[in-house]
Amino acid sequence: MSSLLPLLALAMLSGTPAAPAGDPVAAVDALMRDYDGRVPGAAVLVLRDGEPLLRRGYGLADLEAGVATSPETNYRLASVTKQFTAAAILLLAEDGRLTLEDPVKRWLPSLPAAAEAVTVRQLLSHTSGLVDYEEHVPADFAGQLHDADVLRILEGQDRTYFPPGSAYRYSNSGYALLALVVGRASGQDFATFLRRRIFQPLGMRSSVAHQDGVDTVAHRAWGYTLAGGRWTRTDQSQTSAVLGDGGIYSSIDDLARWDAALYDDRLLAAGSRTRMFAPATATDEPDVPHYGFGWRLNGDSAWHSGESIGFRNVVVRWPAERLTVVVLTNRNDPEPYPLALAIGRLFRQPAAP
């Protein structure tokens, strides 16, 4: 996780020339210079009060076919997915189908005895202590992992890193299990629940928890890595099919609809939104004093990044200013959080004297 970089330093690192004074849109174009042209690109959105101050694409979504990035381009969100997984759990809590204090073994009884004390709340806040599934994939496992495979891996790990609830450790395992809990509590699979309860009601028509062979991703961006001076398609890894921790594809246009829903009752009740953005646990991560449910909390901002092979994404919100910056990229590097902060500084309102 990168430390914050001032705008000038970021421009120098990227070789970006100084932006025209007083023109924030031109300044963003200057910051995004390395994403423009015949290279893996980016989609950038700046919202204030639900209105786009900037909405544009840079570079290519598909190098081989020469397809340009647009605001409709769908990227694998990676861990930006976690806020949707958290919202699904909160919706089910509102429905009375589960509670945040439920033992996870109520829903996933095959978990080992070491998980006896783990609750749904602890999965949401990364305080479960469950081991990282990525470190225990069987050497002979062929193909891609799915959420159910994560459960099978954890069934064989009768230990935790620490007593559940006693510490913070970021856990993809926990969010993969939450997707399975959504399935058990709702009676429908996780992807279907997201489509019916979140994406369709909000008009997020192109967003999908992608399952190869089950659905298609419209306007899809393909992921790339720079190696030996050439861009190589690196779109999928062994863990890319796990849905709960990172499997959603979405666009800046659909994420604008999602962002709007976080300000009112159209999706989640006020109490659920408060729980989502309230500090659930302190962390020892840079720029993340606290974690909520699916969101990193840093003073007046809530944000989350998403990193997987071929993709680097971030959403940063300043709710008091009703300002949001989204940067989605289909390349393996760099992490765009400092870039989003630099863009945000161009549009943020000065503090009252």
How many CB atoms sit inside 10 A of residue 158's CB? 12
Does position 341 have pLDDT exceeding 90, yes or no?
yes
User: Is residue 315 classed as helix, strand or coil in its secondary structure?
Assistant: strand
In this structure, is residue 302 part of a structural domain? yes
Banded pLDDT at 4 (limits 50, 70, 90): very low
Question: Looking at per-residue confidence, does 1 or 124 come out higher?
Answer: 124
Q: What is the CATH number of the domain that holds 204?
A: 3.40.710.10
In this prediction, residue 21 carries a pLDDT of 56
Compute the average pLDDT of residues 335-339.
Answer: 97
User: Is residue 167 classed as helix, strand or coil in its secondary structure?
Assistant: coil
In this structure, is residue 296 part of a structural domain? yes
User: Is residue 313 classed as helix, strand or coil in its secondary structure?
Assistant: strand
In this prediction, residue 349 carries a pLDDT of 80
Whether the Cβ atoms of residue 294 and residue 87 lie closer than 8 Å to each other: yes
In this structure, is residue 151 part of a structural domain? yes
The domain tally of the chain equals 1
| Identity of the amino acid at 46 | V
In this prediction, residue 350 carries a pLDDT of 73
Residue 205 exposure: Cα atoms within 13 Å on the Cβ side: 4
CA 269 centroid distance within chain: 21
DSSP of 27-78? HHHHHTGGGSSSSB-EEEEEEETTEEEEEEEESEEETTTTEEP-TT-BEE-G
Alpha carbon distance 298, 290 (integer Å): 7
- Residue 205 makes CB contacts below 8 A (sequence gap 6+) with 199, 254
In this structure, is residue 1 part of a structural domain? no
In this prediction, residue 14 carries a pLDDT of 39
Does position 190 have pLDDT exceeding 50, yes or no?
yes
Does position 203 have pLDDT exceeding 90, yes or no?
yes
In this structure, is residue 127 part of a structural domain? yes
Percentage of the chain surpassing pLDDT 70? 93
DSSP 8-state secondary structure symbol assigned to residue 2: P
Helices (H), the chain: 7-14, 24-31, 82-95, 104-107, 120-125, 147-155, 172-186, 190-194, 200-202, 252-261, 270-277, 337-347
> First CA to last CA across the chain, in angstroms?
33
Compute the average pLDDT of residues 24-41.
Answer: 97
Does position 192 have pLDDT exceeding 90, yes or no?
yes
Banded pLDDT at 6 (limits 50, 70, 90): very low
State whether the Cα torsion 267-275-290-307 is positive or negative. negative
Does position 144 have pLDDT exceeding 60, yes or no?
yes
Sort strands 224-227 and 51-58 into parallel, antiparallel or unpaired: unpaired
Mean pLDDT of the chain: 93
With residues binned 3-state (H G I as helix, E B as strand, rest as coil), the percentages for the chain, rounded to 5, are 35, 25, 40
Banded pLDDT at 119 (limits 50, 70, 90): very high
In this prediction, residue 220 carries a pLDDT of 98
Alpha carbon distance 17, 30 (integer Å): 7
In this structure, is residue 76 part of a structural domain? yes
Does position 352 have pLDDT exceeding 80, yes or no?
no
Banded pLDDT at 22 (limits 50, 70, 90): confident
Whether the Cβ atoms of residue 76 and residue 210 lie closer than 8 Å to each other: yes
Compute the average pLDDT of residues 23-47.
Answer: 97
For the entire predicted model, the pTM comes to 0.93
In this structure, is residue 191 part of a structural domain? yes
In this prediction, residue 351 carries a pLDDT of 61
In this structure, is residue 35 part of a structural domain? yes
Residue-wise pLDDT for 11-21, tens only, equals 333 333 344 45
Range of the domain at 137: 7-347
